[in-house]
């Protein structure tokens, strides 16, 4: 089984918590709300487009999570 690179971002926007999961190898970006409901899904993106999306959500104060990090650990920092 392939070990694909996956990036997980989490941020607060307008008082709501959001999570983004992107996979540059697959060309997908999914954005979820606090209840893990899928809000947006984009497929067929190239690596540059995914990088641009990640830079855009960083403007909202998104933080990248390590795959092995405990959920919401960064919120207290």
CA nearest to 43, candidates 53, 57, 33, 55: 53
Residue 72 lies in a domain: no
Percentage of the residues of the chain whose pLDDT score is greater than 90: 58
pLDDT band at residue 70 using 50, 70 and 90 as cut-offs: low
Residue 32 lies in a domain: yes
The number of CA neighbours under 13 Å toward the Cβ of 51 is: 3
Residue 1 lies in a domain: no
User: What is the extent of the structural domain holding 40?
Assistant: 7-66
pLDDT band at residue 66 using 50, 70 and 90 as cut-offs: confident
pLDDT band at residue 2 using 50, 70 and 90 as cut-offs: low
Is residue 1 pLDDT above 80, yes or no? no
Is residue 77 pLDDT above 50, yes or no? no
Please tell me the total count of domains within the chain.
Answer: 1
Residue 58 lies in a domain: yes
């Amino acid at each position: 089984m392939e070990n694909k690179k996956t990036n997980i971002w989490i941020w607060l926007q307008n008082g709501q918590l959001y999570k983004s999961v992107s996979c540059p190898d697959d060309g997908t970006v999914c954005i979820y709300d606090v209840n893990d409901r899928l809000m947006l899904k984009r497929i067929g993106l190239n690596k540059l487009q995914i990088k641009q999306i990640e830079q855009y959500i960083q403007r909202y104060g998104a933080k990248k999570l390590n795959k092995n990090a405990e959920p919401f650990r960064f919120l207290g920092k």
